[in-house]
Each structure stands twice: as C-alpha cells, then as structure tokens.
Amino acid sequence: MDFDYFLSLISRIQNAHLGGASSHAKMIPKERKLVTIEDVKTANPKIAAVLALFYPDKSNLTNFLLILRANYDGTHSSQISFPGGKYEQQDGDLQITALRETSEEVGVSMDHIRIMKKMTDTFIPPSNFLVSPFFGFTDERPEFTINHEVEQIIEVKLTDLLNDDSVSSKNLTTSYMKNIEVPCYNFNETTVWGATAMMLSEIKDLIKENLH
C-alpha cells in the first residue's frame, strides 16, 4: 500500500470502532478458553504497552515494525513482538510507555512518532501482563538502533498483513496446551502468533474496514 494512501485513511481509522475480542479470536486456538474481564481482574496483571509503528520504505510503500527479542531468562525470550515494555511510574500514562520503550529498544525518537489510536488491551496469561497496544506512524523510515533487548529488526509490508494468504496455522506446544494448531501470520521467513498476532488481527480488520 502506498504510504500517501495509508495517510489518507488516518481520519477514518481514528473515528472507527475497534474489532476487539472478535478480531483477537481469529488468532486464538479453538481449544483455548477466551479470557473474560473477570479473569483479568482475578489475575491482577502487570501493566505494559507496545507500539505498532508504520512508516514508508524507500519505495514509499507502507511498512510496519516487529522485533525479535533477545535470548534471556524470561517468558518472552526470543519471541517476535512489537517494541514495548512494562509501565513505569514516571511515564504517567501508557502511551508514553509505548513511546519510551520504542525509543529505548529501536532508537526511534518519541518526537517523531504520531499516535493514531489506542487498540484493545490484550491479556497475556503466561507472563501475567495486560498490554495496551498503540497504533502510530512516522513520516519517514526511521534509522533503527537496537539495544540489548532486541536481537533483530523485522520490517513487514502492510500489504502482507492485509493479504489473507499470510494466515495459516502451526503445531505448537504452548504454556497452556501441548501439540495444538495455533493460528499464525507468515511474513516471508517470520512466523507471528500469540498476543502479537491477536493485536495484528485487530489492526488488519481496522484498516480493511476503512479502505476507500
């Protein structure tokens, strides 16, 4: 998708309703129980935020950013995700958390990012985090500089997300079940599943429903 066309969709996107649980459900295994508001309250989760960052490439095609997290002793080691992390008291709000973490992890200045919309919160049971995703963009492709938390930058074309052929399934053993078929996105050699895939599903639905 041409980036100028993407920019023309912003006002529609800002005013549109979110798909929420129905969008998330498309990327959840059938065997997995849907999480309720009461489940989240009972879990008393930690709070975090991530940023889905969109920008033009050198051909003015719209891309978005994913990262491969570095290998460490933790639940999300070596996983594909959006840049982001845990809320800190000095942030003041979760949008600042998403912007600060993106700046720290991939070197994109907070001043260069414009937030279009807050997406639906996503609960991640294995790590007990409630994550607020933010949908933002920059007018130019950033010069990425990764820190120790990031193994690799992954740039994906928006058209690949919008292409239904990018959706498939993969047999995985997860924190909640063994040998189950998990819905996923395949972007070239990158496979995305779990919470990040759920967030991408909502972004995909939001953009597709507001094309003109």
The pLDDT tens digits of the residues spanning 90-109 come to 999 999 999 999 999 999 99
Q: Residue 201 — pLDDT band, cuts 50, 70, 90? A: very high
Tokens 């935020």 identify what position? 49
What pLDDT sits at residue 72?
62
The greatest distance separating any two alpha carbons of the chain, rounded to the nearest whole angstrom, comes to: 48
CATH number at residue 13: 3.90.79.10
Q: What is the span of the domain harbouring residue 67?
A: 3-208
What pLDDT sits at residue 191?
93
What pLDDT sits at residue 76?
46
To which H or E segment does residue 47 belong? strand 46-56
What pLDDT sits at residue 23?
96
Predicted TM-score (pTM) of the model is 0.92
The C-alpha atoms of residue 135 and residue 144 are separated, in whole angstroms, by 18
The pLDDT tens digits of the residues spanning 130-187 come to 999 999 999 999 999 999 999 999 999 999 999 999 999 988 776 666 778 899 999 9
Domain count, the chain: 1
CB 110 within 8 A of CB 100: yes
Over pLDDT 70: what percentage of the chain?
Answer: 93
Give me the helices (H) in 2-93, please. Answer: 3-8, 10-15, 20-25, 37-43
Q: How many helices (H) and strands (E) does the chain have?
A: 7, 11
